[in-house]
């Protein structure tokens, strides 16, 4: 089954849009939850093809949009709601992930019988890798962690000394989306949330706490998140497994839109390594 654009409504919070990929067998399967990265969304590029690979290997795969990623229920692709994007922060993303897990493991989920509640893997790409790492370090329900091209620190990405003062004065700063050509707004609350939750959002500290199996996948030539960050994650958790990818980029040679029937070779290798690690 492939169930697209399910809606998790929450009281006084924006809804979460998510997709389910699984074979309906009435037998419990390992649950895999995928967290997209910065300026990302669940329907980006070849993510559907990735989901199908997990489904075909008899896993219950879930991908979702963070509630403030800029998408909407009616338009989950790209960024029609820049006001929501401006109000996003790491704490909201962690809350989104927790609420989604709680729902998937609850009696409200019509497909609970298809899920092995004792076998839960988080996969996070880029910034989503940082979110997945923090969540795995603080939630005993998570049994495996896989990061794809993950960041190793949020602090240096939250502010730069040169523009912090101006950001506070203006109340907002903008980052160009090279693909959509939108100026993506970040309200100053993003920095305030990071400062208020700095200890919780310390990926190094979280990584050192992780005792569950941990796979780190990163392209050596990643131009967006340098391979050095993967080496840091591996150093902080020496029991982790580091898979180095040759001749690839930050999105493992994917792009949006993806119009091919097959995964790019690099992303196919990433998916294969992840499946081997889980199964």
Instruction: Profile the chain (279 residues) by mean pLDDT over runs of 10 residues.
Output: 98 98 97 98 98 98 98 98 98 98 98 98 98 98 98 85 85 96 97 97 98 98 98 98 97 98 98 97
Residue 156 is predicted with a pLDDT of 83
Q: Is 170 part of a structural domain of the chain?
A: no
Q: Is 19 part of a structural domain of the chain?
A: yes
Q: Is 212 part of a structural domain of the chain?
A: yes
Domain with 23 in it: 2-159+198-278
Q: Is 193 part of a structural domain of the chain?
A: no
Strand order in the sheet with 115-125: 2-10, 13-21, 60-65, 29-35, 115-125, 144-148, 214-219, 241-245
DSSP 99-125: HHHHHHTSTT-TTGGGEEEEEEEEEEE
Q: Is 166 part of a structural domain of the chain?
A: no
Tell me how far apart the alpha carbons of residues 116 and 39 are, in angstroms, rounded to a whole number.
31
User: From residue 124, how far is each of 27, 33, 203 by CA, in Å?
Assistant: 26, 8, 13
- pTM: predicted TM-score of the whole model, two decimal places: 0.98
Q: Phi and psi of 211, rounded to 5°?
A: -115, -10
Q: Is 176 part of a structural domain of the chain?
A: no
Widest CA span in the chain: 57
User: Residue 234: which CATH number?
Assistant: 3.40.50.1820
Q: Is 184 part of a structural domain of the chain?
A: no
Please count the CA atoms within 13 angstroms of the CA of 29 that sit on its side-chain side: 22
Residue 157 is predicted with a pLDDT of 83
Beta strand ranges found along the chain (DSSP E): 2-10, 13-21, 29-35, 60-65, 115-125, 144-148, 172-176, 183-187, 214-219, 241-245
CB atoms within 10 A of CB 33: 22
Residue 68 is predicted with a pLDDT of 98
Residue 162 is predicted with a pLDDT of 59
Tell me how far apart the alpha carbons of residues 233 and 237 are, in angstroms, rounded to a whole number.
6
Please give the tally of structural domains in the chain: 1
Reduced to 3 states (helix: H, G, I; strand: E, B; else coil), residue 242 is strand
Residue 163 is predicted with a pLDDT of 84
Residue 160 is predicted with a pLDDT of 60
Q: Is 171 part of a structural domain of the chain?
A: no
Ramachandran assignment for 181, one of left (phi > 0), alpha (psi -120 to 50 degrees), beta (any other): left
């Amino acid at each position: 089954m492939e169930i697209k654009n399910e809606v998790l409504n929450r009281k006084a919070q924006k809804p979460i849009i998510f997709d389910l990929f699984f074979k309906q067998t009435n037998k419990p399967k390992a649950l895999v939850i995928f967290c997209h990265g910065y300026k990302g969304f669940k329907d980006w590029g070849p993510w559907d093809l990735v989901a199908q690979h997990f489904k075909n290997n008899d896993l219950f795969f879930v991908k979702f949009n963070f509630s403030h990623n800029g998408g909407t229920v009616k338009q989950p692709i790209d960024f029609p709601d820049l006001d929501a994007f401006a109000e996003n922060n790491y704490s909201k993303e962690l809350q989104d992930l927790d609420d989604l897990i709680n729902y998937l493991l609850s009696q409200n989920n019509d497909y609970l019988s298809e899920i092995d509640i004792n076998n839960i893997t988080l996969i996070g790409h880029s910034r989503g890798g940082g979110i997945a790492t923090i969540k795995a370090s603080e939630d005993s329900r998570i049994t495996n962690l896989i990061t794809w091209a993950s960041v190793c620190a949020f602090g240096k990405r939250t502010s730069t000394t040169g523009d912090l003062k101006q950001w506070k004065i203006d109340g907002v700063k903008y980052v160009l989306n090279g693909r959509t050509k939108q100026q993506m707004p970040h309200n100053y609350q993003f920095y305030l949330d990071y400062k208020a939750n700095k200890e919780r959002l310390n990926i190094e500290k979280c990584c050192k706490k992780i005792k569950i199996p941990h796979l780190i996948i990163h392209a050596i030539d990643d131009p967006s998140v340098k391979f050095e960050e993967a080496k840091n994650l591996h150093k902080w958790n020496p029991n982790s497994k580091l898979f180095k990818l040759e001749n690839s980029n930050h999105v493992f040679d994917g792009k949006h839109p993806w119009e091919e029937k097959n995964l790019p070779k690099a992303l196919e290798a990433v998916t294969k390594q992840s499946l081997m690690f889980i199964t």
